[in-house]
Amino acid sequence: MAFPLLGPGRTLRRIQEELETMRVNDVAWRDGRAFTLTYSAGTDVLEVAQDAYQRFANENALNTDAFPSLGTMAKDVVATVLGWTHAPDTGSGFMTSGGTESLLLAVRAAREGRRNQSKIWSDLNIVLPTSAHAAFEKACSYFDVTSRRVAVTTDWRADVQAMADAVDDKTILLVASAPQYPQGVIDPVAEIAALARASEINCHVDACMGGVTLTYLERLGHDIAPWDFRVDGVTSISVDLHKYGYTSKGAGVLVHRTKELRNDQTFVTDNWLGGTYGSSGILGTKSGGPIASAWAVMHYLGDNGYERVTESARTTALAIANHIDRHPSLVLLAQPDATLLSFTTSDEQLDIFTLADNLRRRGWYLDRQGPPPSLHLTVNAIHNNVMTLFLAHLDEAVSESMSGADASPGTSRGAYGTID
C-alpha cells in the first residue's frame, strides 16, 4: 500500500480545530476524571508548568554550554531532590525523562559498577520483588541482565529473606519501592538495604511515586517508614517530578549517594569524527521544556505549597480507601502508605473489569491490573474536588455491574502501557 503524503499546508486555525477534535474522547484529566497517568494540583500550577515549558521547549539540554540556563535550572532541581532524600554531602544526580529512564539507568549503573570493580561481564542479575516496576524488566532486556523476581509477602511487601536466598555472587542490584505501584505499600527498605550492604552490591529505591509525597508527609508529622539516604546501604533513588511534583511530563531525577556511583550511569565517547560526546542518560537531545517546567513549578509551590497538595492527596486517598474497605462487595488490597491504592471484589456476581467499564462510561478512568484482577487509583490533589461524585458513581457502577443488565466480563484486562 502507498502511505499518504502530507498534502498542502494547513492554517493554524485548522490545525488547532483538528487537534481539539482528535482529543474529544480523551479522559478529562483536568477535571479529575483520571486516577492514572496524569497529575494536577490546580489550574494555577498547570499554567505555571505550561508557560515555563513553552518558553524553553526548543532549547536543547544536550549541551548546556550553549544553554547555561538549562544547566542552572537542572542543577537547582537536582539539589532540591537531594535535599528531599536526605542525601549526604557526597550526593549527586541528574535529571531524567522520568521513571522508566531512571530505572534503566539505575540498572546500567549497577552493571557498569560491577564490571569496573570485578571485571565480571556476563550472567549478571538483579533481585527484586514481583511488585517492583515493569521498567526494571525493560532495563534487564536492554542491558543483558537477568531479572530474578521474588514473590511478595501476604501484605504485598518485599520478602527480604526470599530476596536474600536469591542473591549470588553475580547479583548487582537489589530493588525496593517507596511505595510500590500495584498496592501502594512501602517495602522494608532498611532491611533490603542492609542485605545489599552486607553483600556489597547496589540498592536502588524506586521512589518515583513517593519521593515528593513521603518527604512532605513526614514534614507534616506523619509516621513514614525509612526509605531514603538516611538508610545505610541505599545507593540510588529515583524521584519523578511529573507525578507528585505536578510538573510537565518528561521530568524525573535519579540521585546517587556519591558522584562516583553517579558516574556509572553516564556515557562518554570520542570514537567518531565529531568530538567528545557525553550523555548523562538514555536521551541525547533533551527539550528544555521539562527542565524549565520542573524548576518553575517547584519554586512556585515551595514547601508550603507541597505540604498543602500532599495533605490533600493523602486525605482524599484515605477517604476513598475507607469507603472501599466498608463496601460489602469490594475488597481493599492494602491500606495505602501514601496515595496509591487498589481494590478487587469478593463477590462472585461482580466482575471487577466490568465495573471498570461502567465507571469509564461515567467518565472515570482507572488502571486495570493483575494478578490479582484489580483496579488501581493514583490519587492526587485534584481528586479532592471530585471525591464525593466519584464515590457515588462507584456505588452506582457496582450495583449496575451486579444487576444482570451487564453480566458479561469486562471488555479488557487493560494495560499499564500500550503498543499500537
**94-153 pLDDT per residue, tens:** 999 999 999 999 999 999 999 988 877 789 999 999 999 999 999 999 999 999 999 999
**Segment 342-359 mean pLDDT:** 95
Identify the three-state secondary structure at position 45: helix
Q: How far is CA 309 from CA 41, 42, 44, 280, 387, in A?
A: 7, 9, 13, 31, 15
Establish if 346 belongs to a structural domain.
Answer: no
Establish if 187 belongs to a structural domain.
Answer: yes
Per-residue pLDDT, 418: 56
Establish if 6 belongs to a structural domain.
Answer: no
Q: What percent of the chain has pLDDT over 90?
A: 92
- Please report, for the domain that includes residue 67, its CATH number: 3.40.640.10
- Is residue 63 over pLDDT 70? yes
The least confident of 26-40, 56-70, 269-283, 394-408 is 394-408
Strand locations in 115-168, DSSP E?
125-129, 146-150
Per-residue pLDDT, 415: 64
Establish if 112 belongs to a structural domain.
Answer: yes
DSSP assignment string, 368-404: EETTTTEEEEE--GGGGGTHHHHHHHHHHHHHHHHSS
pLDDT digits (tens, 9 = 90+) for 233-284: 999 999 999 999 999 999 999 999 999 999 999 999 999 999 999 999 999 9
Q: How far is CA 41 from CA 184, 275, 298, 307, 340, in A?
A: 20, 44, 12, 12, 16
Establish if 128 belongs to a structural domain.
Answer: yes
Q: Which domain does 53 fall in, by range?
A: 49-298
**Segment 14-34 mean pLDDT:** 96
For strands 330-332 and 367-369, give the pairing: unpaired
Query: pLDDT band at residue 59, thresholds of 50, 70 and 90?
Result: very high
Establish if 165 belongs to a structural domain.
Answer: yes
Spatial distance between the Cα atoms of 367 and 248, rounded to a whole number of angstroms:
21
Answer yes or no: are the C-beta atoms of 251 and 121 closer than 8 Å.
Answer: no
Q: pTM for the whole thing? A: 0.95
Q: In this structure, which amino acid lies at residue 381?
A: A
The least confident of 129-143, 324-338, 396-410 is 396-410
Number of domains present in the structure of the chain: 1
**Segment 294-308 mean pLDDT:** 98
Establish if 415 belongs to a structural domain.
Answer: no
Spatial distance between the Cα atoms of 52 and 291, rounded to a whole number of angstroms:
9
Establish if 131 belongs to a structural domain.
Answer: yes
pLDDT digits (tens, 9 = 90+) for 309-321: 999 999 999 999 9
Q: Which of 375, 335, 379 is nearest to 355 (CA)?
A: 375
- Is residue 406 over pLDDT 80? no
